[in-house]
Every structure is written in C-alpha cells, then in structure tokens.
Amino acid sequence: MQASTTRLTISASSLTPTALHLRRGSEEAYRVGRERLAADPIHEVLASCSPDRSQGREHHRRARRLRERVRAANEAAGEPRVAQVYTPGIIDDPAVPPAGIEPAPTRDLIGMTAHYEYSPQHVYEHVYLSSQRYAWQNLVGVQRGHGDVDLTTAYKFDHNQYVFGFREFIIPVASIFFYDWETMRSTGKFLGVTSDGRVENKPAGAFIKIRSRTAYDEGKEPV
C-alpha cells in the first residue's frame, strides 16, 4: 500500500538539500523501566529535501517525514525498541506538483564499506550488507571492538544524497542521517534510552571515507 503524502509546514526558504530539519514531538523527559511509557513518548519530524532545479532554480519541496517512537519492552519483543515510520511529504502546497527526483528506496549503499569519524575519539566502520541490514563496529573509542548487525532503511534523494536510518537490537536506540557524498559528510540525530532510563534525543555528524565496495554476481545479490 502506498503511503499518503503529507503537507509539511516548514518554510521552503529555510531548507537546504543537505540538511535535516527536525521538530521534537515533546520536550518532556519520559522514563522507562518500572514506569509505564506514554503511548507516544517522543518523536521527530524530518524534512530532508531534494532540489527542484526547474527553471534554473532550486526549490526544496520533496521530503520524507520520519516518526520515531520508543516502545515498551513487552510491545517490541524480538524487535528493536525504537520504531521508525517513513511517510512521503511535500513542502508547502501539495496541490502544486513538485519537480525533480522523487525520493525512493535505494540499493546504492549495498556492498559498500565506509568509515565515519564523529570525532578523533569516535570512529566507526559501516558495512552495508543488504537493503534491510548493515553491520557496524567501533574502531576508535570506548566501544572499540563492539559491533552488531541492525535493521536499516535507505532513501536516495538526489545524486550523491541519501537518507539512512537504522534501528538497533541490543540497545534501545535508532538514528536518522543525511549522507552527502559531495562533501563526504553526514548529519543526523540519535533517539534512544540512556542507562538511567531517560529518553534522549541528540544530534550527531561525521566525516565519511568510503573504503571499499563488493561486487555481486548476477542472481547472487543480497535482498
């Protein structure tokens, strides 16, 4: 079933093709564990737009709305605690058809290995395994040697512009990042639960270095 298109009330003049525009659903700090979670404790609205270059100008009108929610443990047995729901959107009046590339799921990242330097003390390796999963490991930092395979979602917004989200199994956290391969930068947000049971919503960004790509024989590609 195709998702309905949402009108996003964001000023088009404030948007850039490589930025995330986020609005927190609630400023209240919720706790988990022994206390009952609210039905919708916290969420973000994401508008990450691709350029409309018609008439020689850039109008950033296409978007993806992301809703993230920290679920109670008994609601998400065997699944990541933080759920993500993506909805297509149009900036300003949806009655005016947008031009340019329509954001769509992509397989462009599959087979790629890249390093993400969030700071000199925080470097991670990502290996994009399939359209559904990626592997990560910490190369520099307090988590050095730690790693896992988690669920992912990837959209292509324009040439060298991608939105990538992941949902972790071991710890209750999910993230959304905009990858800009022109500048080799990522910018995004993490939403998760801290060790003391508080919901935390924090920004992040990294320098990207693509290290290798794996080629697959026809008929033997990942899902």
Please state, in angstroms and rounded to a whole number, the distance separating the CA atoms of residues 153 and 19: 18
Q: What integer pLDDT is reported at residue 59 of this predicted model?
A: 53
Q: Which two tokens stand for residue 55?
A: 């008439």
pTM score of the predicted model: 0.77
Give the domain 6-213 fold: Lipocalin (2.40.128)
Q: How far is CA 200 from the centre of its chain?
A: 16
Top pLDDT among 65 and 20 is at 65
Write down the pLDDT at residue 151.
96
Q: Give me the DSSP letters along 137-201.
A: EEEESTTTT-EEEEEEEEEEEETTEEEEEEE-SSSSEEEEEEEETTTTEEEEEEEEE-TTSBEEE
The pLDDT of residue 44 is above 60: no
81-139 residue pLDDT tens: 888 888 887 777 777 777 777 888 999 999 999 999 999 999 999 999 999 999 999 99
The confidence score (pLDDT) of residue 60 equals 58
Q: What's the Cα-to-Cα distance from 84 to each of 34, 66, 70, rounded to whole Å?
A: 24, 7, 9
